[in-house]
A and B are shown apart, each in its own frame.
Chain A
Amino acid sequence: MKKLPKILFFLAAACLLMLFVFPMWQITLIAPQYPDGVTMYIWINKITGSTEGTLQNINILNHYVGMKYIEPDSIPELKYFPYIVGAMALIGMALAWTGKRTLWVIWLGVLFVLCVAGMYDFYLWEYDYGHNLDPTAPIKIPGMAYQPPLIGNKLLLNFLAKSWPYIGGWFIGVSFLLGGLALWFQKKNIIEV
Chain B
Amino acid sequence: MKNLPSPFQLFLAAGLTLAFLVFAGCAQTGQQGSGGGALSGDAASKVYVAPGEHDEFYSFISGGFSGQLSVYGLPSGRLFRVIPVFSVDAEKGYGFNEETKPLLNTSHGFIPWDDAHHPELSQTNGETDGRWCFINGNNTPRVARIDLSVFETVETIELPNSGGNHSSPFTTENTEYVVAGTRFSVPIPQKDMRISDYAGNFKGALSFIKVDKETGKMNVEFQVLMPGFDYDLAHAGKNKSHGWMFFTTYNTEEKNSLLEVNASQNDKDFIAAVNWKKAEEYLAQGKAKDFPANYMHNYFDESTQMATSKLITSVKVLDPADCPGLVYFLPTPKSPHGVDVDPTGEYIIGSGKLSTDLTAHSFTNMLKAIDEKKFDGDKYGIPVLQYEAVVGGVVKEPGLGPLHTEFDNNGNAYTSFFISSEVVKWKVGTWEVLDRIPTYYSIGHLMVPGGDTKKPQGKYLVALNKITKDRYLPTGPELTQSAQLIDISGDKMQLLLDFPTIGEPHYAQGISADRVKPKSKQFFKLSENMHPYKTTSEKDTRVVREGNVVRVYMTTIRSHFAPDNIEGFKVGDKVYFHVTNLEQDFDVPHGFAVMGANNAELLIMPGQTETLLWEPKKEGVFPFYCTDFCSALHQEMQGYLRVSAANSPTALKWWTGTEPAVQ
Contact = CB atoms under 8 A, between A and B. Distances in A.
Interface of A: 51-53, 56-57, 60, 64, 138-139
Given A52-B584, A138-B632, 13 more contacts: A51-B584, A52-B527, A53-B523, A53-B526, A53-B585, A53-B606, A56-B583, A56-B585, A57-B585, A60-B557, A64-B633, A138-B633, A139-B632
Nearest to B582: A56
Nearest to A61: B558
A57 B633 contact: no
A112 B105 CA distance: 70
B289 interface: no
A56 B527 CA distance: 14
- Say what secondary structure dominates the interface of chain B: loop
A53 B582 CA distance: 10
Given A60-B557, A60-B558, A53 B633 contact: no
Chain A CB count within 10 A is highest, among B582, B584, B606, for B584
A51 B586 CA distance: 11
Contacts of A51: 584
Nearest to A33: B587
A135 B584 CA distance: 27
B618 interface: no
The 5 lowest CB-CB distance pairs between A and B, nearest first, are: A53-B584, A57-B585, A60-B558, A56-B584, A138-B633
B632 A53 contact: no
A165 B558 CA distance: 31
Interface string B547-570: 000000000011000000000000
A52 B632 contact: no
B525 A52 contact: yes
A64 B634 CA distance: 12
Nearest to A38: B585
B561 to A, nearest CB: 15
A57 B632 contact: no
Contacts of B585: 53, 56-57
Contacts of A138: 632-633, 636
Contacts of A56: 582-585
Interface string B449-492: 00000000000000000000000000000000000000000000
A185 B525 CA distance: 53
A64 B559 CA distance: 9
B63 to A, nearest CB: 31
B555 to A, nearest CB: 12
A138 to B, nearest CB: 6
B557 A64 contact: no
Contacts of B523: 53
B557 to A, nearest CB: 7
A59 B606 CA distance: 16
25 contacts: A51-B584, A52-B525, A52-B527, A52-B584, A53-B526, A53-B583, A53-B584, A53-B585, A53-B606, A56-B582, A56-B583, A56-B584, A56-B585, A57-B583, A57-B584, A57-B585, A60-B557, A60-B558, A60-B583, A64-B632, A64-B633, A138-B632, A138-B633, A138-B636, A139-B632
Kindly state the interface size class of chain B when it binds its partner: 10 to 19
Contacts of B583: 53, 56-57, 60
Contacts of B558: 60
Nearest to A36: B586
B590 to A, nearest CB: 12
A64 B523 CA distance: 23
Contacts of A64: 632-633
Nearest to A64: B632
B523 to A, nearest CB: 8
Interface in B326-378: none
B153 to A, nearest CB: 26
A71 to B, nearest CB: 13
Contacts of A52: 525, 527, 584
Contacts of A57: 583-585
A31 to B, nearest CB: 12
Nearest to A49: B584
A53 B584 CA distance: 5
Contacts of A60: 557-558, 583
Interface in B581-608: 582-585, 606
A42 to B, nearest CB: 20
A138 B631 CA distance: 12
A190 B429 CA distance: 89
Nearest to A57: B585
Interface in B603-645: 606, 632-633, 636
A6 B409 CA distance: 67
Contacts of B582: 56
Chain A CB count within 10 A is highest, among B557, B582, B585, B632, for B585
Nearest to B527: A52
Contacts of B526: 53
Nearest to A60: B558
A57 B582 CA distance: 10
A150 B558 CA distance: 28
A46 B582 CA distance: 22
A145 B582 CA distance: 28
A137 to B, nearest CB: 11
Contacts of A139: 632
Interface in B244-280: none
Contacts of A53: 523, 526, 583-585, 606
A64 B526 CA distance: 23
A56 B585 CA distance: 9
Interface string B424-456: 000000000000000000000000000000000
Contacts of B527: 52
B169 to A, nearest CB: 36
A153 to B, nearest CB: 23
A56 B558 CA distance: 11
B171 to A, nearest CB: 35
Contacts of B606: 53
A56 B636 CA distance: 20
Contacts of B557: 60
Interface string B633-663: 1001000000000000000000000000000
A57 B557 CA distance: 10
Nearest to B584: A53
A57 B522 CA distance: 14
A146 B633 CA distance: 19
Chain B CB count within 10 A is highest, among A52, A60, A138, A139, for A60
A138 B637 CA distance: 13
A112 to B, nearest CB: 40
B200 to A, nearest CB: 64
A56 B583 CA distance: 8
A154 B582 CA distance: 30
A51 B521 CA distance: 14
B396 to A, nearest CB: 56
B521 to A, nearest CB: 13
A57 B585 CA distance: 7
Nearest to B607: A53
Nearest to A56: B584
Contacts of B525: 52
B558 to A, nearest CB: 5
B630 to A, nearest CB: 10
A139 B558 CA distance: 14
A81 B584 CA distance: 29
B535 to A, nearest CB: 15
A105 B241 CA distance: 80
A64 B558 CA distance: 9
Nearest to B585: A57
A64 B632 CA distance: 9
Contacts of B633: 64, 138
